[in-house]
Structure 1
Amino acid sequence: MTSMLETRIEKRTSSRDGRRRSSRTAKRMWRRIGLFAVIAGMAALAVTLFAINAARPHAADPALARDEVRQSIALLDAGNYSAARLHAQNAVTADPKWGLAHALLARTFLALGNGDAAEGELDRATDAGFDPERAHHLYAHAWLLQDDADAALTEAAKAPPRYAGYAVRIGAQALAAQGDVPRAQQVLSDMLDANPRDAAAWADLAQIRADAGNGAGAIDAVGRALAIDGNNLAALTLRSELVRDQYGLTASLPWFEAVLKRDAYYYDALIDYAATLGDVGRYQDMLEATRKALAARPGSADAYYLQAVMAARAGNFDLSRTLFARAKPTIGDTPGALLLGGTLAFKAGAYQQAIDQWQALIDQQPMNLTARRLLGLALLKSGDARGSLDALRPAGLRGDADSYTLMLIARAFEQTGERDWAAKYLDRAAWPAGSGASPFGVDDDTPTLADAVKTAPDEPTARLSYVRGLLESGDRDEALAQAQAIVKMMPGAPTAYLALGDTLAALGRYGEAAAAYRSAAGLRFDEPTMLRMVDALDRAGQRQAALTALTLYLSQNPQSIAAQRIAAHWQIAGGEWDAAIETLENIRQQTGSRDVALLVDLSAAYLGGDDADPDTALAYAKAAYRLAPMNPAAADAYGWALHQTGRDDQALQLLQKAVAIAPGNAQVREHLAAVRKP
């Protein structure tokens, strides 16, 4: 964009003030005036010449434009879409009236996912004489990128036979966007039957399968696409995402880097790469990736959102709010935006705003444990103890509920005056059962869920809900039959194997459950799958296999708190004190020093082994007790640490208190007996 320039030349004159000036002063003054006049005259001439040149149209350079077009096409084929766009822009500059140059620039914008810019260039192309019949499929693509699937379908149907393949692909994507996924997949399958070497069609099919939850089918299709065209950046980016799901965060990084080696400013890969780097804990690299994303797409809401998340993790909430405000108008009420927005509101003491956002998140994702925990805390802070219990109930009923959630529930019961229930949850918070990642229940009754399956027998979501309902009602045999049916219906979907594993685990068939979870992990090795598999393997007596699975997950997801906690517990149980200390200290650095269970574990770890550090152990145990003086685990840890430092009188009082709170706990009784010995 050329800015308009204005130059003002001020004439300066001297005025007589009635005073006489010396001859030298007068001459000096007139020399300055003369110099100003010369400069002003030169400036005026320059402005005049600039205006004349600006008004004169640039002479077209067809030869340069053709050369730029050739380079742009070559770069498109090589997978460097950003550079291809630059050369296409150069071609347009060299010959603004060449319709083909504008059409090529539109094509590069489409490759980069910018439908608005592509549509504008297509308009310029046709205005410059580009044949409109050659643009139908491109317009369809542009409108699809602008979320107008209806217009895309209509326009794609107008494409002549020469561009039928491109148009069919866009039509299939539009069908998927409208929700007709089976038809979209069939259209692409038919197309690939006729032309199995169409890499773009395989890539589109892979994306549709991935969006539908068919991980195995997506992996197969994207592999075929890349075998034909290794420079298809959309396919490479999807493969990176699938590797992240299938194997883990660290494994996916080289795949993202392979995309960015071809095009350092490919926006879609930059955003996913940045998010992955953040989850791995490489925040400086994450920041650099978001800056490149902003260079590729100025004002990117995704990049600002990721920077806001990074700032919040660093505790800089003011900066996070500023960055989030830039992203919020675009990302709207997406789950990530609701989670972060609620967090920022909570940190500012605006509890009702936090409640509204986290409740909206739970409405979208009823099984989101983190959101439920946060909502329960915000409601409790605002004085709505009953509302807090309602929010936390589904999480608290799980056998694997964490100590913090159980503590929140206990505090809520205390506020409602139900101290008997508060005591029960305080006991559970002291030593959580940790019985694995069990599924949520459902709100509808079993007959209603059964009717939904009869109405839509091919709908897997209805069957998944039915399985959960059957498990909750105790009909485990029918739940198993339904879960097995889901696996047959969706053999490439990890959720199907999770449902089967959950059912087998409920039946106590842990070895078979572990096998089902292993099948799910082969498609998506995320935290819920890992927790289920490790628990099932451990219960089946396969501790070494469980440890292998846990170690593999941690190697790919080193920031996972849940995985680190399990590892630390096993390290303590195995007497690996130094390793346990390292793991627990890493957790503390990530989560802070207000987790009672973590502080208790740290105290135990520092007391273990030949190189025990009783003073450090005592400091952690004392901190745990200060946070939760009625927690029997904290009282026991504090008492035992005092005993190890030779303060048995104080230790005895604390251990007696711990036994009084939790008389059935063997460890507390053993510690008390050891201190009482003469």
Structure 2
Amino acid sequence: MTASTSPTLARPPFPAHKRAHALRPLALAALLCLGPSLAQASPEKAAKFYEDAQQRFEKGDLSGASIQLKNTIQEDNKMLAAHLLLGKVLFKNGELKGAEAAFEEAIRQGVSRSELAIPMAQLYLQLGERKKLLDQINTTGLGPAQQAEVLTLRGTAYALSGNNTLAAKSFADAKAIDPRSAAPLMAEAQMLLRAGERDKARATAQRATELAPDNGLTWYTLATILQATQDLKGALAAQEKALAINPKQVDARVSRAALLLSLGRQKDAEDDLALLAAAKQADPRASYMRAILAAKRGDEAAAKKSYAETVTMIDPMPPGLLIVNEPLLMAGALSNNALGNREKARGYLETLIGQNPRHYAAQVLMASILLETRDYGKAQPMLENLQRANPEDTQVMYLLGSVHLARKRYQQATEMFERAAQRAGANAGDALRELGFSQLGMGQDKLGQGNLEKAFAANPGDARAGVQLAMIYARQGQSARALQTAQAIVKLDPNNLTMLNFLGNIKGRSGDKAGAREAFTQVLAKDPAFRPAGINLSWLDIEEKRFEEARARLKQMLGRVKDDPDVLFELGILELRAGRNAEAMLNWQRADEVQRADPRPGLSIIDLLSSQKQFDKALEAAKLLAGKHPGKLPVQLALGRAYLAVGDATNARLSFQDATKLAEFDAEKQILIGRMQLQAGNPDGAAYNVQKALQARPDDQAALVLQVEVEARRGDNAKLDAALKTLSSKYPGSLPTLMTVANVAMLRGQLPLAQSNYRAAMDKSPNTGTAILLVRAQIAAGETDKALAFLEDWARKQPDDRLLLKALAEVQLQAGKNEAARKSYTKLMSLEPEDPSILSGYASLLLRIGDPAAAAMAEKALKLAPGNPDLTDLLGWILVKSGNLDAGLRHLREARLRSPGNGEIRFHLAYALAKSGRKAEAKEELNAALNASNRVQASPELAQLKSELGV
């Protein structure tokens, strides 16, 4: 296929908005693998194919656009714009699964989620993936009109999920942002109808038609409301208006046919259905109506054929789409029943009535089975229904508490176990134990420990309570008590190797390494194949750097059980400690491949890749690990950090939001996540982390410091002052307080106050980080020479401090000391030859002084951190400034898609587009740059471009 090949004609476009079932397969993965070898790939050809595809898409030639995009991806699989446009083409053509795959590939390669918010939200609604929409799609980075559309789609998802309160709020927010849009009114009218508020629904739909009288969808919406309120003639009139505006509107045509059948106009209904068939518009409701009409005529063969068509379309539909669509559920049930598919018909009917269970004892048993098999999503609602039916059943309370505990919803679990323990009386041992676990999860350590002690005292054979208590005592430094508890457990069952091994762990935690080694050796003497003791003994060897002994033991264990994941993981740690990174990686990769239960090998892989600055590879590893372990807190944190490392703040925020839910009331984890949220530009998310941390530990200093930083980022001066006052009153003069006061003063431009606090902090704890902050305050005060002198003096005292040297180079560059900066960067590159931030700083210096080596330096930096939008932008800008417009434009487009909220990047793209003659697109990008939250800095080039484009 070449650029001049004439694409084949596409079939008539298939409306996507109700056709999740009509999916044509697209071998996207195969398409992505069809490209030529790297030696043959041509970005220039790819750009030409892409421009042709874009023009075809704008003209409605979806098939032609698809072919040219295939050619684009064959030439350049990394072109973000091609993957993005491919998703839009497939979506418009009704190929929803193919569109989803294309959009996900675009996101995987680096397109910002904000760029895909609206089409992905529409896609998820059509696929019935409402949870995905609500979890992943938000208004971050969008303009007012786009925000209103996303809020409308989110409102629809909330409404279909049964949460009308949040739905109404989303619709209200959408209307407030864009009062001229009819979309929120149409969606709200449907919600009101489902809630039984028919008059409000009708009035709301009527307002939509008044707001957008030339929009066929507003009339179709009104027609559905009128039909539901039994105003059939009014509904028919509204459908006819919809079809007059757009005769190809499938939903209006299907609904009109159903109305005509209701009114006894059989022939007219058949004519509408015939029009749909002639246009090759497949719809299960239309097929079902054809079956009904055929049955009325006595044509059993035709009826059977139409029933089969209905089933063929409905059966593959996602359950999420079907569960809220009664017409489709009934059509599926009736059609399957007519064809003799009793079990499938029963399944559809059970979906309809499954929310109202009747058999109490059977539901309790089912809930316990679901709990045992970890199917918590089904167990919880079932148990909640049972509890409403019988609030005093202690068994149901215990089971429901266990579900909440398993899902780390500690507050709800605590409430259930407290009630169960109160009602169980003398038999409350198990409930007390689980209550203790829940309270520990909430950060209520004393209460949790107390209930575990009660449970263990009531039943000394309760090993779960005893083990947890011994670990608590060990952490508290109560070594004697920890040892006493562990020995009590072992005494009850002296031959229990698991407990003997646990006793060795407690001895090790208490600092008795010799006693721990003796215990592990004793276990292995009884059973040489007892893996936990072998691993623990090897761990002792590793800590003591007895690598050869540990390696021999672990390999012997692998000889007994090939590919034992725990042994492979431990062997990886050994090799890392021994300085053999490649061998460590191989062991962890194998440990990750052979099991899906333990994320530790995958986390170790991510850490090692990140330490080697292979950030793209680390992100890929993190994505794979998150797919295997979506509910594990360390995995979500690793994924968020990996996204941040490549500059994808939007996806990082989503990962940290998931982590917040998993962390519950763990104060340290919440503070850690809050700081990461700030790095990802999400102060509101970080504020919630502070709230959770302070709930667990009131007056925690780290949480109070974070609270100040959050309010500073949010820009609420009153709340900032209050937070600062609280911190200063509770921890006056402490190092964290001094640093926080200085940072806030810096933010507010109170430079003398900032400098005095940074100096006080330096007096308490001299370090390079504080020195750099003091220098920044001096520079902000216009004291650049003073700052440079201070930094040079500090550098003489710390000659091997690379962070300090990097700061010195940056200050020299900022101060215009080009030759001094060059020397500093040269020294830095000799120490850190593969640090992309150093290379990019040097490239910026070379660009300033007109050195043609700037492009090669920027390209080297980007190769070390591929996908980083700032480095991509830097290379693109250098290429444009050096006259290589086509190559520069390609990099700038990619940078803009990866970081659409960066005004500087969008200005650079606008500049390049204007140079290439694409004035309209350049003007659009320049306006976006000027309105971005991270605005472009003033410069002569910006002023000239604004004048040239009339902005």
TM-score of Structure 1 vs Structure 2, range by shorter chain = 0.3 to 0.5
TM-score, structure 2 as length reference: 0.32
Q: Which has the higher contact order (CA 8 A, sep 6+)?
A: 1
TM-score, structure 1 as length reference: 0.42
